[in-house]
Amino acid sequence: MKKSIRVAALVAAATLAAGVLVAPTANAASKVKAAIAYDIGGRGDKSFNDSAAAGLDRAKKQFGATVKEVTVTQGTDSEREDKLRLLAKAGYNPIVAVGFLYAGPLKKVATEFPKTQFAIVDDSSVALPNVSSLVFAEEQGSYLAGVAAALASVTGQIGYIGGVRIPLLQKFEAGFVAGVKATDKNATVDVKYVTEPPDFGGFNDPAKAKVIANGMIDKGIDVIYSAAGGSGAGNFAAAVDAAKYGNKVWTIGVDSDQYLTASAAEKKNMLTSMLKRVDNAVFDVISAANSGKKVNDSLGGGAFGRTYGLKLGGVGVSYSGGYINKYKAKIDAAAKAITAGKIKVPTTPAK
């Protein structure tokens, strides 16, 4: 009895999925009905959610994909799960989940809807054939930021502020430190995280990040890279304060080109930003779906998806403001060496 219902449900789901795939071909518009589930912050967070939204917008424009956007508000796993399940039930395919916090919920929902193609940004732990893991080689982009930092520093003392000490942000740290050391082996990098897990408050505490940055500046550090979400603003503010006392401190932004959203005073110290092109990855997923394919290179550990490094234009540094134009040759050389495999950038901090 129960089994027959399940079979019937499966058949119904399959027909539904097939229907979704087949039916709209008659239309001139794209058959793709894509959905995106943002994490807390959603569209307008000036960070990776916004970047993902940009990819979605591009897909909508280029092949008229139907799109649906949802945002998590409470941030519980059950809420994430509900959002994903609703989207899958409504027949959206592909469904992109933005952020590693979706990993647990996604695993459940993707098992329930094997015909729906899912994608997750910043995670490669869900080993299912219908999940594309979109991961980034942040260490490569951070390496380039490290090269720029080492070249720009006068004191040879450089700082790194991470939001929360999680493996993802340690990837940034490792790449950045490697980039600094490769460029100036006498330079030192001070590493500090705002909070330790499970306290994720470090992503939203500009006050604490500012205290950290001030401490670094007092020590003589003159370039600070912050990979700390909303806390990064504290780093930029500390540099602005330092400038009032005639102290030049460069800051390096993260994820999106933070020069573009910085205030006039902050722009003066914004050396560069480490770019993470989530938009490219999201666009890839929808574009693949549009031509009936999926993003499913093997990532090892049973996971499928793609790693976006320098090679695929997934990471890089921004040149807004023009402060690092003079280092471009050296940065490009480092990028080339990484792409060619001559430089292996570490993904975990040394020690």
Partner 1 sequence: MLEKGKLSGMRRTIIIFFGIIAILSIIRVATGASDLTSVGTAQAALLLSVPIVLAALGGLFAERAGVVNIGLEGMMIMGAWAGGFMGSKHGPWVGLLAAIFFGAVGALVHAIATITFGVDHVVSGVAINIIAAGLVRYISTILAQGGSWPGPSQSPDVEPIGQNGLPILSGGKYFGWQSPDILNSIGEKNWFLISDISRVLRGLTGELSYVTMIAVALVPISYYILWKTSFGLRLRSTGESPIAAESLGVNVYAMKYWGVLLSGGFAGLGGGFLAIVAANHYQENQIGGRGYIGLAAMLFGNWRPGGLLAGSALFGFADALQLRDSAAIHALLLLIVAFLLFAAWRSFKKGQRIATIVALALAGFFAWFFVAFEELPGQLVTMTPYLATLIVLSLASQRLRGPAAAGLPYRRGGLK
141/229 with CB nearer partner 1: 229
What residues between 181 and 210 interact with partner 1 by CB under 8 A?
Answer: 192-196, 199, 201, 204-208, 210
Tokens of 217: 């500046």
Examine residue 41 and tell whether it contacts partner 1 (CB under 8 A): yes
Residue showing tokens 């722009």: 267
Distance (Å, whole) CA 196 – CA 129 = 33
- Considering the rule CB under 8 A, would residue 171 count as an interface residue with partner 1? no
Asked if 267 interacts with partner 1 (CB under 8 A), we say: no
Binding segment (CB under 8 A) for partner 1, from list 7-15, 77-85, 91-99, 233-241: 233-241
Preceding amide of 198 cis, omega within 30: yes
Q: Degrees (nearest 5) of the Cα angle 55, 58, 62? A: 140
Q: With respect to partner 1, which residue has the nearer C-beta, 45 or 123?
A: 45
Which residue of 31, 32, 34, 46 would you call a contact of partner 1, by CB under 8 A?
46
Query: Which of 20, 212 has the CB closer to partner 1?
Result: 212
User: Of all residues in the chain, what percent are helix, strand and coil, respectively (each to 5)?
Assistant: 45, 20, 30
Residue from the set 174, 237, 252, 315 that interacts with partner 1 by CB under 8 A: 237
* Eight-class DSSP state of 13: H
Q: Which two tokens stand for residue 295?
A: 């993003």
The alpha carbons of the chain give a radius of gyration, in whole angstroms, of 22
Binding mask 69-108 for partner 1 (x = CB under 8 A): ----x-----------------------------------
* Residue closer to partner 1 (CB basis): 199 or 332: 199
Asked whether the bond before 197 is cis by omega within 30 degrees of 0, the reply is: no
Structure token digits, residue 263: 């205030």
Interface with partner 1: number of residues (CB under 8 A): 35
Nearest approach, Cβ of 126 to partner 1 (angstroms)? Answer: 26
Element (H, E) at 223: strand 223-227
Give the one residue of 9, 10, 29, 44 binding partner 1; rule: CB under 8 A: 44
Contact 323, 272 (CB under 8 A): yes
Kindly give the interhelix angle for 167-183 and 138-152, rounded to the nearest 10 degrees. 40
**Amino acid in the structure at residue 88:** A
The residues, any chain, with a CB within 8 Å of residue 124's CB and separated by 6 or more, are 133, 135, 299, 301, 303, 305
Q: At what angle do helices 328-339 and 138-152 cross, to 10 degrees?
A: 150
In this chain, which of 45, 138, 279, 284 binds partner 1, going by CB under 8 A? 45
Q: How far is the CB of 151 from partner 1 (least distance, A)?
A: 27
Q: Tell me whether residue 19 or residue 75 sits nearer to partner 1 (CB atom).
A: 75
Contact between 274 and partner 1 (CB under 8 A)? no
Would you state the structure tokens that stand for residue 266, as one six-digit string? 């902050």
Nearer to partner 1, 196 or 332 (CB): 196
Q: Are 194 and 226 spatial neighbours (Cβ–Cβ below 8 Å)?
A: no
Instruction: Work out how close the CB of 274 gets to partner 1 at its nearest, in angstroms, rounded to a whole number.
Output: 20
| Binding of residue 33 to partner 1 (CB under 8 A) | no
**Residue 290 Cα to chain centre, angstroms:** 23
Part of the chain binding partner 1 (CB under 8 A), chosen from 151-159, 227-235, 317-325, 330-338: 227-235
Q: Which is nearer to partner 1, 214 or 273 (CB)?
A: 214
Residues that bind partner 1 (CB under 8 A): 40-46, 50, 73, 165, 192-196, 199, 201, 204-208, 210-212, 214-215, 218, 230-231, 233-234, 237, 261, 263
